[in-house]
Amino acid sequence: MDTVLSGRDTAFTIAGRTFGSRLILGTGGAASHKQLAEAITASGTELVTVALRRVDPGATGSVLDVIEQCGVGVLPNTAGCFTAEQAVRTARLAREAFGTPWVKLEVIGDEDTLLPDPVELLDAAETLVREGFTVLPYTSDDPVLARRLEDAGCAAVMPLAAPIGTGLGVRNPHNLALICDSAAVPVICDAGIGTASDAAQAMELGCSAVLLATAVTRAADPALMAAAMRDAVNAGRAARLAGRIPKRHLAKASTAFEGMADL
């Protein structure tokens, strides 16, 4: 992290675990394990997501090897689940497979938009919290739902910027800011980030971190975009802490008129 920033920032902590990077990287979409490893390294992330799927007898190497080589933590997700029951079962299997109670909880409600199903999501979150999981729910940008998830005991809330994989950036900055202003747990902007300025904007709005995958893994040069995202997250965080100037309708001279020559 930038030294000026690190000297002024507080630690980024989820459920008592501190992270040096405010960027969480999803691994979906990488063309190869080599490309993924380069992107993880360039991003500076300390936590990456994986999905749980049937073993592929023909697979060569595992994404877990890449994660281990890179020395980063693993955050299993429940991607592809459409009901609370499916998601809860997937989380239990992930805990067994990876030995971690952490889960990125996804319960999708619509095949075209992949938007979260709020009713199933809250149901699954309540069950998993009761079972001792550290639950990080992928949620819509609804401040009320975010509060309900926090009240249910989630360790963070992860509102979307835009639908998964769209790269549309922050569609509702006002809602995202409302969530950030009221949440007592970390707010992690998850999904819909397209490029570096989107990640910076999410951080400027008050997010504690950004989670993204496609923007990096499907970029023409994933490692370069990963580095851009690393810098954008740091820049956005620094700008947030620095305190932006208020917006004005009319100009305000940055150069004083006093002492102006009579020409």
Partner 1 sequence: MSVVVNGEAREGIATVADAVAAVTEARRGIAAAVNGEVVPRSEWDRALADGDAVEVLTATQGG
Residue 107 CB, nearest approach to partner 1 (Å): 13
Q: Do the annotations mark residue 192 as ligand-binding?
A: yes
Q: Which residues of 85-101 are buried (b: 16+ CB within 10 A; e: fewer)?
A: ebbbebbeebbeebeeb
Q: Which of 3, 11, 16, 96 binds partner 1 (CB under 8 A)?
A: 96
Residue 221 CB, nearest approach to partner 1 (Å): 18
Q: 37: how many CB neighbours lie within 10 A of its CB?
A: 18
Q: 67: how many CB neighbours lie within 10 A of its CB?
A: 23
Q: Which of 39, 79, 135, 216 binds partner 1 (CB under 8 A)?
A: 79
3-state secondary structure at position 64: helix
Size of the site for partner 1 (CB under 8 A): 34
Residue 144 found at the interface with partner 1 (CB under 8 A): no
Residues 167-206 touching partner 1, rule: CB under 8 A, are none
And the tokens for 118?
Answer: 């709020």
Comparing C-alpha atoms, which of 194, 230, 190, 231 is closest to residue 211? 190
DSSP string, 198-236: HHHHHHHTT-SEEEESHHHHTSSSHHHHHHHHHHHHHHH
Supply the residues annotated as catalytic: 104
Q: Do the annotations mark residue 165 as ligand-binding?
A: yes
3-state secondary structure at position 7: helix
Q: Which is nearer to partner 1, 50 or 157 (CB)?
A: 50
Residue 69 found at the interface with partner 1 (CB under 8 A): no
Could you list the residues known to form a binding site for 1-deoxy-D-xylulose 5-phosphate, using ranges: 165, 191-192, 213-214
Interface contacts to partner 1, rule CB under 8 A: 26-30, 36, 49-57, 62-64, 74, 76-77, 79, 89, 92-94, 96-98, 104, 106, 138, 164, 213
Could you list the residues known to form a binding site, using ranges: 165, 191-192, 213-214
